[in-house]
């Protein structure tokens, strides 16, 4: 055994910087050796190598739905590793955990889903979507239908197809993306586009961008529309209630497949098994990952509606696609135990009717803080913005300038108070805590966030005073 646990933090940071290229990191900053080292998790808490205990209000990376340290998941994984550590599911081979998990997923998913294709991650799920919908239309003898419409600022993963479906210019710049046949429309962000309109009006307008795009491209060329029920990494953007039903109507009208990327919204985050159930639409395909195993082991999948499976079964021919770890037995048993916990502890119901509304109440109350505006979310997803001056509506608030560094200050102060939140550009802070967060822990989370914000407010005032004197 190595003695890594005994090494001091500075040494570990040095070793990490020497050997480890992190995802989504600026490698110039490697030299500073600043990575935070997380060494332990229990319930909603994690500890770093310096012994600091923090409420993980990001659930790892939007995934630790049942919290850390679940012995029953570890036991299930341990048992399966000894029984059958791996076998593939290619061709016509299978194993007991894959059979049991597929059956369970069919049971808990909306009625149109009776089949699942397993993958290892959300990105692989979305690559599968691209290949599957194009294959479907070929088999339907409508090979012209190849274009997939997605949205600006969406996040659908980091593989070539995932990043192409995503709408982040920073990702498209690297690697010659998007791949052909993927186009983007605007996102349903009321903050960005809703000025002078009611939220409901804006929802219909944002959905109409899809219809306009379909007409522009020609419906005979469009395969599918993909969206996250609530955009997660793009800033926790909850669409107006009119948005998804209208998107559904448009997809139905033009016979276009509707894909819900539920990698964040699935497995209870919005108080339902899948986010589409909370937001009122009926997709043909669902991508899932993260919360299916609460991140204990990587696993993802695509739920495929009967209309697609029936066509592929009738027309025949191999679907030439799959991953070594599609339906990995260890991932499957972790998922089964995770789903059992979600059911047994009645977690979806709590998020929907009890702790979720309480979390949202506390989040909305943050708007009273002099720095905060546009706070809100749904279920156990949320976010808030920092503003220099607040006007009477969100559209009148004045943001900080980049040089104020408000977001970084706030994130660091909130972390120092003991809560992990995520910062995104535009001084927006995001939250996606474990679904097991209790009322008391919610109180504690928001007290600590307020402490961090108070300190930030004072620092920003002090910085502004110093600039005036200079
Ligand atoms: C909505 C959505 N889709 C896909 C992905 C990609 O998942 P993975 O990182 O497991 O490939 C993510 C990751 O955050 C996501 O939020």
Regarding whether 332 and 362 lie in a shared domain, the answer is no
How close is the Cα of 109 to the center of ligand 1, in Å? 19
Ligand 1 atom with least separation from CA of 265: 1
Regarding whether 162 and 131 lie in a shared domain, the answer is yes
Mean pLDDT confidence for 256-281:
98
Q: Are 356 and 310 in contact (CB under 8 A)?
A: no
Regarding whether 339 and 245 lie in a shared domain, the answer is yes
Pocket test for ligand 1, best of 156, 234, 302, 381 (most atoms within 8 A of CB): 156
pLDDT number for residue 121: 98
Pocket test for ligand 1, best of 263, 267, 275 (most atoms within 8 A of CB): 263
Regarding whether 386 and 332 lie in a shared domain, the answer is no
404 — pLDDT class (breaks 50, 70, 90)? very high
pLDDT in tens, 35-92: 999 999 999 999 999 999 999 999 999 999 999 999 999 999 999 999 999 999 999 9
Residue ID of nearest Cα to ligand 1 atom 13: 157
Pocket of ligand 1 (CB under 6 A): 62, 121-123, 126, 155-157, 162, 228, 232-233, 261, 263-264, 289
How close is the Cα of 432 to the center of ligand 1, in Å? 14
Of 295, 325, 344, the last residue of a domain is 344
% of the chain exceeding 70 in pLDDT: 100
Mean pLDDT confidence for 239-265:
98
pLDDT number for residue 62: 98
**28 found inside a domain:** no
Name the average pLDDT for the chain.
97
Exposure pattern of 295-319 as b/e (b: 16+ CB <10 Å)? bbbbbbbbbbbeebeeebeeeeeee
Pocket test for ligand 1, best of 123, 227, 293 (most atoms within 8 A of CB): 123
Regarding whether 460 and 394 lie in a shared domain, the answer is yes
Q: Where are the alpha helices (DSSP H) in 20-113?
A: 59-62, 71-83, 96-108
**402 found inside a domain:** yes
31 — pLDDT class (breaks 50, 70, 90)? confident
Q: How far is CA 395 from CA 190, 195, 333, in A?
A: 9, 6, 48
Segment (H or E) for 377: strand 372-378
CATH label of the domain that carries residue 379: 3.90.1150.10
Regarding whether 360 and 234 lie in a shared domain, the answer is no
List Cβ<8 Å contacts ≥24 apart for 94-98.
94/327, 95/327, 95/329, 96/329, 97/327, 97/329, 97/330, 97/332, 97/333, 97/336, 98/327, 98/329, 98/332
How close is the Cα of 122 to the center of ligand 1, in Å? 5
Regarding whether 270 and 129 lie in a shared domain, the answer is yes
Q: What is the dihedral of CA 168, 172, 177, 181, to 10 degrees?
A: 30
Regarding whether 423 and 364 lie in a shared domain, the answer is yes
| pLDDT at residue 18 greater than cutoff 70 | yes
How close is the Cα of 289 to the center of ligand 1, in Å? 7
How close is the Cα of 253 to the center of ligand 1, in Å? 29
Pocket test for ligand 1, best of 158, 230, 290 (most atoms within 8 A of CB): 290
Of 296, 323, 344, the last residue of a domain is 344
| pLDDT at residue 199 greater than cutoff 90 | yes
How close is the Cα of 171 to the center of ligand 1, in Å? 14
From CA 362, how far away is CA 354, in angstroms rounded?
A: 13
% of the chain exceeding 90 in pLDDT: 95
**5 found inside a domain:** no
**371 found inside a domain:** yes
| pLDDT at residue 29 greater than cutoff 90 | no
**242 DSSP β-pair partners:** none
Exposure pattern of 19-48 as b/e (b: 16+ CB <10 Å)? eeeeeeeeeeebeebebeeeeebebbbbbb
CATH label of the domain that carries residue 291: 3.40.640.10
Regarding whether 198 and 109 lie in a shared domain, the answer is yes
pLDDT in tens, 434-468: 999 999 999 999 999 999 999 999 999 999 988 88
**161 found inside a domain:** yes
**384 found inside a domain:** yes
How close is the Cα of 6 to the center of ligand 1, in Å? 34
Of 344, 371, 392, the last residue of a domain is 344
Contacting residues for 320 by C-beta, under 8 A, at least 6 apart? none
Pocket test for ligand 1, best of 64, 122, 432 (most atoms within 8 A of CB): 122
Helix, coil or strand: residue 150 = strand
pLDDT number for residue 30: 81
* Beta strand segments in 194-325, E: 222-227, 257-261, 285-288, 300-305
Domain count along the chain: 2
Residue 72 neighbours by CB distance under 10 Å: 13
Residue ID of nearest Cα to ligand 1 atom 3: 156
From CA 291, how far away is CA 238, in angstroms rounded?
A: 19
How close is the Cα of 107 to the center of ligand 1, in Å? 24
pLDDT in tens, 318-371: 999 999 999 999 999 999 999 999 999 999 999 999 999 999 999 999 999 999
Regarding whether 311 and 356 lie in a shared domain, the answer is no
Ligand 1 atom with least separation from CA of 232: 16
**7 found inside a domain:** no
| pLDDT at residue 470 greater than cutoff 80 | no
pLDDT number for residue 255: 97
**29 found inside a domain:** no
- Residue-number span of the structural domain to which 246 is assigned: 71-344
Regarding whether 305 and 421 lie in a shared domain, the answer is no
Pair of tokens at residue 71: 């012995």
Q: How far is CA 193 from CA 6, 203, 281, 351, in A?
A: 53, 10, 23, 30
Regarding whether 411 and 329 lie in a shared domain, the answer is no
Mean pLDDT confidence for 187-216:
97
pLDDT number for residue 67: 98
pLDDT number for residue 1: 54
């Amino acid at each position: 055994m190595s003695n890594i646990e005994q090494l001091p933090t500075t040494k570990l940071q040095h070793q990490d910087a020497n050997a480890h290229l992190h995802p989504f990191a600026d490698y110039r900053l490697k030299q500073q050796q600043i990575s935070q080292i997380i060494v332990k998790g229990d319930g909603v808490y994690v500890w770093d190598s310096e012994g600091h205990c923090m409420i993980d209000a990001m659930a790892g990376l939007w995934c630790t739905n049942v919290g850390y340290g679940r012995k029953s998941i570890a036991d299930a994984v341990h048992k399966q590793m000894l029984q059958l550590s791996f076998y593939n599911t290619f061709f016509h081979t299978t194993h007991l955990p894959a059979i049991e998990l597929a059956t369970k997923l069919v049971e808990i998913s909306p009625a149109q889903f009776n089949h699942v294709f397993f993958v290892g991650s959300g990105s692989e799920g979305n690559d599968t979507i691209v290949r599957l919908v194009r294959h479907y239309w070929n088999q339907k003898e409508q090979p012209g239908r190849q274009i997939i419409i997605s949205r600006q600022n969406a996040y659908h993963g980091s593989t070539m197809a995932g990043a192409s479906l995503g709408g982040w210019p920073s990702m498209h710049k690297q690697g010659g993306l998007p791949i052909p046949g993927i186009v983007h429309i605007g996102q349903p962000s009321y903050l960005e586009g809703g000025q002078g309109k009611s939220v409901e009006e804006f929802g219909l307008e944002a959905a109409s961008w899809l219809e306009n795009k379909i007409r522009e491209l020609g419906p005979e060329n469009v395969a599918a529309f993909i969206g996250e029920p609530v955009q997660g990494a793009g800033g926790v953007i909850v669409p107006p209630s009119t948005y998804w039903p209208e998107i559904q109507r448009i997809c139905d009208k033009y016979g276009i497949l509707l894909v819900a990327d539920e990698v964040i919204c699935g497995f209870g985050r919005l108080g339902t098994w899948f986010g589409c159930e909370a937001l009122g639409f009926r997709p043909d395909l669902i991508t899932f990952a993260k919360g299916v195993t609460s991140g204990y082991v990587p696993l993802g999948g695509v739920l495929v509606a009967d209309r697609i499976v029936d066509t592929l079964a009738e027309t025949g021919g191999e679907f030439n696609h799959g991953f070594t770890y599609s339906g990995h037995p260890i991932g499957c048993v972790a998922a089964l135990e995770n789903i059992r916990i979600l059911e047994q502890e009645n977690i979806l119901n709590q998020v929907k009717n009890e702790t979720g509304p309480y979390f949202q109440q506390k989040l909305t109350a943050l708007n009273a803080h002099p720095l905060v505006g546009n706070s809100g979310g749904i279920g156990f997803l949320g976010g808030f913005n920092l503003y220099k001056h607040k006007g009477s509506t969100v559209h009148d608030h004045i943001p900080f300038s980049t040089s104020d560094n408000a977001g970084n200050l706030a994130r660091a102060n909130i972390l120092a108070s003991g809560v992990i939140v995520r910062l995104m550009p535009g001084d927006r802070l995001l939250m996606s805590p474990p679904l097991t967060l209790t009322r008391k822990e919610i109180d504690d989370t928001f007290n600590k966030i307020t402490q961090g914000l108070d300190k930030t407010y004072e620092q920003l005032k002090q910085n502004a005073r110093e600039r005036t004197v200079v």
